[in-house]
Amino acid sequence: MHIKRIYEPAVEGDGTQVLVDRLWPHDTSKNEAHIHIWLGDIAPSADLRHWFGRDPKSDVSSVAAGRNSRGT
């Protein structure tokens, strides 16, 4: 598995590209992105993203908070 920003061009050998985000990036068309699967339903909630972005000391333990926010 490799992590790649959606704004990076697709290249041969990328394999199946999966976007995990609730919103589609506004500057990228679905055709340009070459995304095979869009998993918006499993992306972190907006509240969790804001919470995690504000706390520079957040770590992997925040994943539990994300699971609780999604009811998993």
Provide the domain limits for residue 52.
44-72
Same domain, 31 and 52: no
Give dist(CA 12, CA 42) in Å, integer: 27
Is residue 46 within 8 Å of 22, Cβ to Cβ?
yes
Residue 44 burial (CB count, 10 A): 20
Same domain, 34 and 64: no
pLDDT at 70: 57
Residue pLDDT, tens place only, 10-66:
888 999 999 998 888 888 888 888 899 999 999 988 888 887 776 656 555 555 555
Same domain, 30 and 55: no
* Number of folded domains that form the chain: 2
